[in-house]
């Protein structure tokens, strides 16, 4: 059974498959099950979102973040008439390619491999879905990963272009964003068949927005509970000028200081906005209600605007586009900017971030020098087939990116701190 508005071509897989099993379900539901049961998804439970999993039991990991993104994305898809399994699967998969230590680890691997194709989390996600996570092999015996449908692979692609066509993204991370590495070009061309160049399908737009919503609200919540955000300061008008300037510098988009000022005022007017957080149950409940109210507000205003702006009966794939109101974008940016100002941009934490980047760079150097030793099954096989420096560096990047925070530290201790 195919959902309304989708074509047979949307369900095609890079390697054609015969249906098996007694459960009657759609191809997109099969894709969701494949991602849900993957080892890559499980590993996200031990990878940093913003705060390290070792910081305590409350803060999100990459796995809990991905589950929350999927919940937001699925409900938006249902509201907009998009197949919920396509969006849900893309949301679950969107961070599979991220390395240890969050975006900090991504920056380290990108720097280490900049002369050999670089590193980008979304490009690594495609690589993982289409070759590293073992399930389907083609006629030549080459792993094709989970072999997901065209629609789902396209929905998981945040940046549908090559590295040379990429631009630096705003939001504190000014590295170039792109969706695939050159040796994954065949799969990228498959998933983009019939698509408008450089344009994301609406399912990918929903996934990306759901990620922004969950990221902004939940990281703000985690930072408050962990004591990093000074609530007295962000509620004091005397601190507004400095805070808004930091938010503007971090965001880097076309939004203005005035946009942020008005957004902060709207956020403060929320009935659940906190003036302090003592850790008592009443404060915990208020904070939880704030996160619910903010998510609901962001999603409702965006789905309403999207439905008004699109005339198509079916918004699926390239028949519609997500419309995020400027006010919503500004409020999300303010929440992200607050976390950045008090956590990621905090001078006191910079030595910690430098240490994390050094760990991954030293580990990558040691693995490269090991000439094929200490690699997992996939990477050991890929190393045997590698004939160029670029291919060998890519194998090492694949290996380091697959590690959890703990396993990266453990392997670094074994190979570097002997």
Q: What is the pLDDT of residue 4?
A: 79
* Count of CB atoms situated within 10 Å of the CB of 346: 13
- Whether 74 has a pLDDT exceeding 70, the answer reads yes
Q: What is the pLDDT of residue 226?
A: 87
- Whether 186 has a pLDDT exceeding 60, the answer reads yes
- Whether 410 has a pLDDT exceeding 90, the answer reads yes
- Whether 1 has a pLDDT exceeding 80, the answer reads no
Q: What is the pLDDT of residue 279?
A: 87
pLDDT in tens, 21-59: 656 789 999 999 999 999 999 999 999 887 666 666 667
Contact 309, 202 (CB under 8 A): no
**If we measure between CA atoms, which residue out of 294, 295, 300 comes closest to residue 272?**
294
Residue 103's pLDDT band, with cuts at 50, 70 and 90, is: confident
- Residue 172, phi-psi category: left (phi > 0), alpha (psi -120 to 50), beta (remainder): left
Residue 82 phi, psi dihedral angles, 5° rounding: -95, 150
Mark 361-395 as b/e (b = at least 16 C-beta within 10 Å).
ebbbebbbeeebeebeebbeebbeebeeebebbbb
Q: What is the pLDDT of residue 248?
A: 93
pLDDT in tens, 214-233: 999 999 999 999 888 989 99
Q: What is the pLDDT of residue 319?
A: 93
- Percent of the chain residues topping a pLDDT of 70: 95
* Count of CB atoms situated within 10 Å of the CB of 102: 22
Instruction: Locate 308 and state its tokens.
Output: 């008004």
Contact 280, 236 (CB under 8 A): no
Residue 252's pLDDT band, with cuts at 50, 70 and 90, is: confident
Helix locations, 128-192, DSSP H: 150-155, 185-191
Q: What is the pTM of this model?
A: 0.95
Question: 392 or 173: which carries more pLDDT confidence?
Answer: 392
Contact 383, 375 (CB under 8 A): yes
pLDDT in tens, 289-298: 999 999 999 9
Least confident stretch, 7-21, 41-55, 194-208, 398-412: 41-55
Q: What is the pLDDT of residue 311?
A: 78
Q: How far is CA 115 from CA 63, 109, 391, 393, in A?
A: 31, 11, 12, 10
Q: How far is CA 317 from CA 87, 177, 186, 321, 322, in A?
A: 11, 22, 21, 9, 11
pLDDT in tens, 306-362: 999 987 778 999 999 999 999 999 999 999 999 988 887 777 888 988 999 999 999
Instruction: Locate 414 and state its tokens.
Output: 């074994």
Least confident stretch, 20-29, 103-112, 133-142: 20-29
| DSSP character at residue 337 | H
- Percent of the chain residues topping a pLDDT of 90: 82
Calculate mean pLDDT across residues 171-184. Answer: 84
Calculate mean pLDDT across residues 52-78. Answer: 87
Contacting residues for 370 by C-beta, under 8 A, at least 6 apart: 415
- Whether 2 has a pLDDT exceeding 70, the answer reads no
Which domains occur in the chain, in start order? Answer: 8-196 (1.10.3210.10), 203-350 (no CATH), 351-415 (no CATH)
Query: What whole-number distance in Å separates Cα of residue 278 and Cα of residue 350?
Result: 27
The angle subtended at Cα 30 by Cα 27 and Cα 34, nearest 5°, is 140
């Amino acid at each position: 059974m195919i959902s309304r508005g989708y074509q047979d071509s949307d369900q095609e897989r890079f390697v054609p498959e015969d249906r098996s099993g007694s459960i009657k379900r759609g191809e997109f539901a099969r894709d969701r099950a494949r991602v849900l049961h993957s080892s890559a998804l499980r590993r996200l439970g031990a990878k940093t979102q913003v705060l390290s999993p070792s910081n305590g039991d409350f803060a999100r990991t990459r796995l809990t973040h991905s589950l929350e993104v999927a919940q937001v994305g699925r409900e938006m898809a249902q509201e907009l008439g998009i197949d919920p399994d396509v969006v849900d699967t893309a949301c679950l998969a969107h961070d599979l390619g991220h390395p240890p230590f969050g975006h900090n680890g991504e920056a380290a691997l990108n720097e280490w491999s900049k002369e050999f194709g670089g590193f980008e989390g979304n490009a690594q996600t495609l690589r993982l879905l289409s070759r590293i996570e073992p399930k389907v092999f083609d006629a030549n015996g080459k792993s094709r990963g989970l072999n997901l449908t065209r629609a789902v692979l396209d929905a998981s692609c945040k940046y549908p272009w090559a590295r040379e066509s990429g631009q630096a993204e705003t939001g504190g991370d000014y590295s170039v964003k792109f969706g695939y590495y050159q040796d994954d070009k065949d799969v990228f061309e498959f998933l983009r068949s019939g698509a408008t160049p450089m344009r994301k399908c609406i399912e990918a737009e929903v996934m990306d927005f759901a990620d922004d919503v969950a990221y902004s609200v939940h990281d703000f919540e985690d930072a408050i509970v962990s004591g990093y955000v000074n609530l007295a300061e962000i509620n004091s008008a005397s601190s507004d000028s400095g805070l808004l300037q930091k938010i503007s510098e971090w965001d880097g988009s076309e939004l203005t200081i005035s946009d942020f000022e008005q957004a902060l005022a709207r956020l403060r007017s929320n009935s659940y906005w906190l003036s302090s957080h003592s850790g008592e149950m009443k404060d915990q409940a208020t904070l939880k209600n704030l996160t619910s109210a903010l998510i609901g507000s962001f999603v409702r205003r965006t789905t309403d605007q999207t439905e008004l702006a699109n005339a198509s009966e079916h918004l699926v794939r390239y028949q519609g586009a997500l419309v995020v109101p400027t006010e919503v974008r500004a409020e999300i940016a303010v929440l992200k900017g607050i976390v950045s100002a008090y956590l990621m941009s905090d001078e006191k934490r910079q030595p910690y971030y430098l240490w994390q980047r050094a760990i991954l760079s030293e580990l990558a150097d040691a693995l490269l020098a090991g000439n094929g030793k200490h690699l997992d099954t996939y990477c050991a096989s890929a190393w045997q087939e590698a004939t160029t420096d670029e291919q060998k560096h890519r194998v090492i990047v694949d290996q380091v990116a697959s590690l959890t925070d703990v396993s990266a530290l453990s392997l670094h201790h074994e190979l570097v701190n002997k």
